[in-house]
Amino acid sequence: MGITIKQFGSEVSGSFEDWTSVIEFDPETGTGSVETTIAINSLTLGSVTSQAMGADFFDAETFPTATFVADITPFDAGGYVASGTLSVKDQSVLIDLPFGLDFDGPRAAMAGSLSVNRLDFGVGTNMPDETNLAFEIRINTDLIATFNP
């Protein structure tokens, strides 16, 4: 699970190493649900990792986890979309995460991405313009899941 930000005009990418997802999915109907919990302090974001954990940004000490709870439905030429609520720092925003899904026996490879505005989650409100830090945070997901019948 990764993110990309733009700081001083340059992209900085990182990833959350500690997260869990409970996914229910019916491949025949293409419907299901997902609940993901992300440990904020597991983020590595280059030279700004420590700053990102601070009170002005993710405030990992006060808000140690983020969650995404969504329903999965078919979407756009064989793809899917997880539509639900992303909650970061007690701020909840409705989002749509479009994604592709490839099956190989009991395994499924999923990849998707979307952009959110950091200010919607109270991240970096001390930087109310994009001079130093862009509003957009790009979220990228790339995972392999094993189905249990």
Beta-bridged to residue 86, according to DSSP, are: 68, 93
Q: In whole angstroms, what is the distance from residue 121 CA to residue 101 CA?
A: 28
- Tell the residue number behind the tokens 């609520």, with chain if given: 85
In whole angstroms, what separates CA 111 from the centre of its chain? 11
Q: What is the pLDDT along the chain (149 residues), one digit of tens a residue?
A: 999 999 999 999 999 999 999 999 998 899 999 999 999 999 999 999 999 999 999 999 999 999 999 999 999 888 999 999 999 999 999 999 999 999 888 888 999 999 999 999 999 999 999 999 999 999 999 999 887 76
Q: In whole angstroms, what is the distance from residue 41 CA to residue 58 CA?
A: 9
The burial of 5, by beta-carbon neighbours within 10 Å (0-12 exposed, 13-18 middle, 19 or more buried), is given as buried
Q: Could you tell me the pTM of the whole model?
A: 0.93
- What is the pLDDT, as a whole number, of residue 147? 75
- What is the pLDDT, as a whole number, of residue 149? 63
For domain 2-146, the question of CATH label 2.40.128.110 is answered with yes
- Tell the residue number behind the tokens 């539509």, with chain if given: 83
Q: In whole angstroms, what is the distance from residue 18 CA to residue 43 CA?
A: 8
CB atoms within 10 A of CB 46: 12
